[in-house]
Structure 1
Amino acid sequence: MRPLDIEELTRSGVIYFTSKLEMLEELHCKMYKLDRVHNLWTHFHDYFQIWYVSKGGFIHTVDNRPYTITKGDLFVVAPYTLHSIQVESDREIEIIGCEFMPGFVNEQLDQRTANQVVFDASYLEHFWHNDPTAQSQIALDGVTEGKIRNLMLEMLSEYEKRTPFFQMVLKSNLLALLAIIVRQVNRDVVRAGFEKSEKYRDIMTRVVDYMHHNVHEDIKLEQVCTLANMSKSTFCSLFKEWTGKTFNRYLIDLRILNAMTLLQRPALSVTDVCYATGFNELSYFCRIFKKYTGISPNHFRKQAIQK
């Protein structure tokens, strides 16, 4: 939202809460517990806000759409989102709140450019760029609610006590909290991923076992595709999802790890180790080994034997 938009909104009566007034100067994260909430008419702020309701309820309106928030629910509001709170005056209520600037997750997020890749942005991107419907009212199952409640209570305790290094605990718990919430609002994706993982678990386990037991052989992609009874494209996609690495990278890593073990045996020459780990070409083995470890096989062996 541009500064001009902020000026126009505030002139029209919309309230703007800024982190400069709401948060400590050296800590861009705030925790609090509310046992009384007054109506908050349409407002917005420059920070993220998470409310977990442990007692009572209210109406949370986001972009003119009302959501009935009750005990056990949670919502996440991204910066510059117009929203309001309506509470029955005599209703008993308890809320644990967390407010934080994107920079508290990662300092680079406050100045990130469109093309800059920052891994920690994944904690916030769902809430930044998606339709607010999914996060304006998040109903929690019993197990998830327990995890979130415990995390937020610990964060509140750390914030209030301010014991040494509390900022580190606060940040680590916030990241855990965000990860749980992202999974919660993406339940269908998580469930589909779990079902897919279970469907191919036996096949991928068999393939990985085959590679470990035959690492000294000249293993080809075509062989393992036949073993898995899959096309190359399907297998490569599933293999990377399963192991976190491409087939070639996994195989090379496995061979290098085996080579590091065998090089500690004085009876084996570097050439012996090369062929015993499936490289089949000494110059290529030496080049790849140095690329991965930073030193040559001979240098690695000398260091290992000395130790």
Structure 2
Amino acid sequence: MQIKDFTVDESLQELTEHRTVVLPIACYETTIKDNINGFIPLHWHEEFQFVLVVKGEAMFQINEEKIIVREGEGIFINSGCLHMAKDQNGTGCVYICLNVSPSFVLSHELYATFVDPYIQATNIPYLLLSSETLWANQIFQSMKEISRCINEKEPYYEIEISLQLTRLWKSLIKNGVPLEYEQKETLKNQRMKEMLNWIHQHYAEKILLEDIAQAGHLSRSECCRYFKRFLKKTPLSYVTDYRIQKSLIFLQQSNLAVTDVAYLVGFNSTSYFIEQFKKSMQITPLAYKKMKTN
């Protein structure tokens, strides 16, 4: 089952509970364009994420890096990393997504040695998984088997999932990536999350560049550099884009007019809201509202 409209809190942490009834793990097929935004918006979660593209190709952004993942390839996204995904060139990208709690990967006795160092490493926000490498193919096979187990629920399937997860993680950490730890990188990621957190709490209010910079304990110029590095846009452009994202939910409420929605998400001009919405969504807010409410 695809999650088409997952929710995030003010810090962009996804609130979806990635688990089956008894296990802290979830595996589902995702068609990117079916998300309410037409893409997977920026978010983060504590779970590890493994992706296998089964159709088309996608552009993933993890922290400040953008990576093209093609059909037959995959990607590992580390715990706590900001990420988003867009369909690349209208290919109708579909991928299998496996989210798993780090604490479930290995037993408590092995966690400190074989899991936590990879969460703390600052040089592994992601790993590209190529079908040309044996270790990546082993990960893909384990993902497919976990997906089958969750769907079919044969007797003792929970144990089989645990076994496949152990094999998957062993394949990942045996690929030979040396771990690095830079306090500076950790601080940069934290400051970026703090600024995004502040925006998401105050998006409906008047926002100045100084406000965003202060939330990250940065100067205005440093604040702009952070957004340019992580998101390839200015802080205030991000505010506009986030307001458009939030408006999609409100526009589906029949009791709210377009003008109401514009002011609810922080625009002080309906005409400017319509202009920015059309620029982002290639459709007017009213047309979008009619399409969704009908």
Higher helix fraction (1 or 2): 1
Q: Which structure would you say has the larger RCO, counting Cα contacts within 8 Å and 6 or more residues apart?
A: 2
Larger Rg: 1
Q: TM-score under structure 2 normalisation?
A: 0.50
Normalised to the residue count of structure 1, the TM-score between the two structures is: 0.48
